[in-house]
Amino acid sequence: MSALFSPISLGNLKLKNRIVIAPMCQYSAVDGQATDWHLIHLGGLSLSGAGLLIIEATAVEPIGRISPADLGLWSDETEAAFAKVLTSIRQYSTMPIAIQLAHAGRKASSQAPWDGGQLISPDHGGWETVAPSPIPHGPTETPPLALNKTGLDRVKQAFVDAAIRAHRLGIDAIELHAAHGYLMHEFLSPLSNQRDDEYGGSLENRLRFPLEVFDAVKAALPENYTLGIRISASDWVTGGWDVEQSIVFTKALEQRGCSFIHVSSGGVSPLQQIPLIPGYQVEFADKIKQTTSMPVIAVGLITEAEQAESIVANGQADMIGIARGILYDPHWPWHAAAKLGASVDAPKQYWRSQPRDQKALFGETKIGAR
């Protein structure tokens, strides 16, 4: 029996297997609104046989977008665009769908990666960015505006409002984005947070704003709704955020009823030194898993079925996240199931593709012939 293809629950959300399609920015929205690209992209992934699909980082306010082409969920128009995409997907897929709600902070107002990814000034179609402290991400960039109490309250309410919209859309779970150098991670890391008020300085103070956001969002949702978080477990910079601080954060989240934690790393500093080797972030997930009863998702160059199976079977993480790997191979879960002797959901329109030596791959399917 494959560990990777065994069921698991995230709060009250039941998943058929432990493969998570991690959020992957597409930079293809128009004024925050989902487009036909998202229907094609997410629709295809929803037929992949994974246990959970998490929609890409979705900004809670316009200035929280990484780029002008990011998804958003801050208005009736952005909600309606999502509804169109989700309605179409739900006709053909029963895969649980989550959404990652995000605010890019000082890394907002940037070009799409294929256009260079550089900060866009307000004079060239960008906007003023915000952050815990007026410290730019890169040394040549314009410093962001430090959020005051009014700004903090506005951002917090934006997360709440977006979460209410996500729930109204019928999205099954929410992941708050506190990783990759975006706003909530910027509050956590001493590299980007040098405030001298109750939101900066000590670890307790640096945790305060992300925990306030979590508490506010949780309070706005039904009691049994699945609400998790993604973190960067390390800045990969001496003196920055690290796994020990991540464990303290994890314990505080668990006490608040967090449903899962998705463990990534890096993103807050261009000085980061990351060893890009297979499974390079799994060690962080493993360390965090030993301290929490929350389900832990590991991610980062997990590309092979046997590698994913080993991570789950050995208890290093409860689930694995696939991102670039599933863009390259949209049927990665099918191929993993075939290698591990498991079965996976597939649409009936594709049942005839089942290899002759894998008759149980799609479960008890019955295909006639003419």
For 84, the token pair is 């169109």
Cα–Cα distance for residue pair 147/110, rounded to 1 Å: 19
Q: Decide if 300 contacts 309 (C-beta within 8 A).
A: no
Strands 319-322, 173-178: pairing is unpaired
199 is catalytic: no
Cα–Cα distance for residue pair 240/145, rounded to 1 Å: 21
For 48, the token pair is 């992949």
* CB neighbours of residue 43 within 10 Å: 17
End-to-end CA distance of the chain: 35
DSSP 81-142: HHHHHHHHHHTT----EEEEEE--GGG-SB--GGGT-PBPPGGGT----EESSS--SSTTSP
Instruction: Catalytic residue, from 27, 92, 182, 225: name it.
Output: 182
3-state secondary structure of 229: strand
Cα–Cα distance for residue pair 43/153, rounded to 1 Å: 35
Closest CA to 169 of 87, 94, 89: 87
Q: Where are the alpha helices (H) located in the chain, listed in sequence order?
A: 36-45, 76-90, 149-168, 183-188, 203-220, 243-255, 282-289, 305-313, 324-328, 332-340
Those residues whose C-beta lies under 8 Å from the C-beta of residue 120, and which sit 6 or more positions away, are 67, 68, 109, 110, 111, 126
Q: Decide if 195 contacts 133 (C-beta within 8 A).
A: yes
Cα–Cα distance for residue pair 208/187, rounded to 1 Å: 8
Residue 171, phi then psi, degrees to nearest 5: -70, 135
Longest dimension (CA), the chain: 75
In angstroms, what CA-CA distances link 309 with 58, 337, 340, 342, 351?
30, 10, 8, 11, 25
Residues with catalytic function: 182
